[in-house]
Structure 1
Amino acid sequence: MSIFVDSDTRVIVQGMTGRAGTFYTDQAVRYGSTYVGGVRPGKGGTRHLDLPMFNSVKEAMDETGANASLVIVPAPRAGDAMIEAIEAGIGVVVCVTERVPQHDMSRVKQALQNSDTILIGPNSQGILTPEQCKIGVMPTGNATPGTVGIASRSASLTSEVLAQFSKAGMGQSTTVGVGGDALHGVDFVECLKRFKEDPETESVVLIGEIGGRAEEEAADYLRSVDYGKPVVALVVGRHAPQGRRMGHAGTLSVLGGGTADEKIASLTAAGATIAKNADDVVAAVKRAKTET
């Protein structure tokens, strides 16, 4: 099984006719994901990549039965695109756009409160259930089906860790890029809950970093339940200078999150196994399995 997306997921792309939208839609279709159309106002009735184009998300849903959307539009319009998908009732929205204004994201978060939509991102590499569905920009070359669930704030570390798991013969159930911005959709806690409920996910990996409180909230959740599956956490940024943004908006340590060492201590106290670095994650999962 998987979480959030699977072989039944039908995807539309908001911004498909742009250069990035064209490239990543083509990649996903070639991978075998089910993409059923694109949305761009004024392009309705045309075709792109041999897929039908629609003027609105609602029109695309009505015509194609789409239940997921990839938002890959410029930052000034990304907030409106996410809200349109939420208001249309799309089940899963994946936004890969970086630097979406926080004012726009506050409107997106408000729209989510009255909906059943799951938002992944923004500033996310997307989501991948190997050999079933890819939404976003996540590489697929090293992905293999299996039982390791991954939730990550870092795109580059995700690719590295995923490749190491596959090399070790340990496939993935689903890999989720929760996004690197301070305001975003699903977090570690939601991913942990979904992986806990998924019978084919046998172990979970969290890839975290400094800034925010995502790791502390994950630790609070783990302390509140009998999780029943090994959880391994990698937290990077131990040597980052205090008070400086390190690439991701969410890594700004003055936002109230603890240091890497504080996050590691919190997760350790919650029962998670800590990977020392990216090269140690596979070994840490194997250690955790023997201890559970």
Structure 2
Amino acid sequence: MAIFLNKDSKVLVQGMTGSEGTKHTRRMLASGTQIVGGVNPRKAGQSVDFDGTQVPVFGSVAEGMEATGADVTVIFVPPKFCKGAVFEAVDAGIGLAVVITEGIPVHDTAAFWAHAQATGNKTRIIGPNCPGLITPGQANAGIIPSDITKPGRIGLVSKSGTLTYQMMYELRDIGFSSAVGIGGDPIIGTTHIDALKAFEADPDTDVIVMIGEIGGDAEERAADFIREHVTKPVVGYVAGFTAPEGKTMGHAGAIVSGSSGTAAAKKEALEAVGVKVGKTPSETAQIIRTALTGATQGEEAGVPSQSMAPTAP
């Protein structure tokens, strides 16, 4: 199984005819994703050739959905047009909108997130400013390289795109059920908690790795959720231990203000609920290997998976 994306997902690409959309559509197709159309009102009715595969261009998300049965859209629209693109996807009722674009004003993100909730929240939004998500061997919606991993039993949720790639590469011999890059802006759609809930329910995920970074309290809230609702082993990594106070580091939301949002505070909150937190990505990968071995041995011995999960003090 997988979370949010699988081999049956039918994907539209908003902004497919732009330079980034074209490049990554080609990569998504090469990894086996069912790209069923692009969206560009100015080029509706045309088609684009991707190494012999003809992909039609539709005038709207609703038109593309009606013609193809698409249930996912990946958005590569420039920042100033992105709010409108997400509104269009939400109004069409598509199941999943993956917003890759970075540099979107926070008030625009707040607007389209509120709109999604006001319309019944039928559309799951991932991002913005994210690498998207991948279910290795099945489908890839975004910019995550498909050749750095294989199908496996690890579930990954991460704020950072770069650290998503590194962790997948570190554990490429084991593989992943799904990997979700949620983005690091101050306001995002799908959260750590949403992914944790989905991985907990996924029978093909044995161990969950959660990558966070400085800024905000998302990791602390995830720790509270893990304490109450997650029985599978969770391993964490928090980027930004040496970040100076008051300086934005990388993502727009990665900023420490006073004692709030520090890597140390997040590490402490996670460890308080039994999550093992690595000091470096490589150390985190080694902890995951150990946790996965323990989970597998527990299943073979007939021990319930909950007994293999960290125990809160």
User: Taking structure 2 as the reference length, what is the TM-score of the superposition?
Assistant: 0.90
Distance in 2 separating the partners of 1:33 and 1:254: 41
Cα deviations by residue, 1:65-113 (Å, 9 ceiling, x for unpaired): 0000000010001111011101101101101100101111111111121
1:242-281 alignment, distance < 5 Å: 242-254=245-257, 257-281=260-284
Q: Residues 12-91 of structure 1 correspond to what in structure 2 (within 5 A)?
A: 12-49=12-49, 50-91=54-95
**In 2, are the aligned partners of 1:212 and 1:255 still within 8 Å (CA)?**
no
Which structure has the greater CA radius of gyration? 2
Query: In structure 2, what is the equivalent of residue 144 of structure 1?
Result: 150
CA shift at 1:36, angstroms? 0.2
Give the alignment of 1:219-238 within 5 angstroms.
219-225=223-229, 227-238=230-241
Q: Letter of the 2:242 partner, please give it.
A: H
Where do 5+ consecutive residues of structure 1 fail to align? Answer: none
* Long gaps (5+) in structure 2: 295-307
Separation in 2 of the partners of 1:185 and 1:239? 28
Contact 2:255 2:261 in 1 (8 A): no
Say which is worse superposed, 27-36 or 245-254, in terms of deviation. Answer: 245-254
Residue 217 (structure 1) aligned to one of 214, 217, 221:
221
- How far 1:252 sits from its partner (Å)? 1.7
Kindly state the Cα deviation for residue 42 of structure 1 after the two structures are TM-superposed.
Answer: 2.0
- State the distance in 2 between where 1:257 and 1:37 align: 44
Identity among equivalent pairs (%): 40
User: Are residue 104 (structure 1) and residue 87 (structure 2) matched?
Assistant: no
Following superposition, the deviation at residue 286 of structure 1 comes to 3.1
The reply to whether residue 162 of structure 1 matches residue 168 of structure 2 is yes
TM-aligned CA deviation for residue 255 of structure 1: 9.5
Amino acid at match of 2:180: V
In terms of mean alpha carbon deviation, does 11-20 or 48-57 score higher?
A: 48-57
Distance 1:106 1:25 in 2: 27
Q: Distance in 2 between matches of 1:190 and 1:257?
A: 23
- The Cα of 1:9 is off from its aligned counterpart by 0.3
Give aligned pairs, total: 289
- Partner SS state of residue 238, structure 2: strand
Q: Partners of 2:100 and 2:182 in 1: how far apart?
A: 10
Q: By how many angstroms is 1:241 displaced?
A: 0.2
CA shift, 1:23, in A, is 0.5
For 1:31 and 1:285, the matched residues in 2 are separated by 26
Two-structure CA RMSD over aligned residues (Å): 1.3
- Work out whether 1:115 is the aligned partner of 2:118: no
Distance change in 2, residues 1:137/1:267 (3 Å): same
Q: Distance in 2 between matches of 1:234 and 1:5?
A: 24
TM-superposition CA deviations, 1:182-219 (whole Å, max 9, x none): 11110100000000000000000011110011101100
8 Å contact from structure 1 (residues 211, 256) kept in 2: no
The structure 2 residue matched to 1:175, chosen from 179, 201, 207, is 179
Deviations, residues 106-131 of structure 1 (Å, cap 9, x unaligned): 11111121221111100000100001
Matched, 1:284 2:295: no
| The one of 196, 202, 206 aligned to 2:206 | 202
Normalised by the size of structure 1, how large is the TM-score? Answer: 0.96
CA distance in 2, matches of 1:12, 1:286: 36
Match in the other structure for 2:305: none
Matched residue type, 1:245: T
Residue 128 of structure 1 aligns to a residue in which SS?
Answer: strand
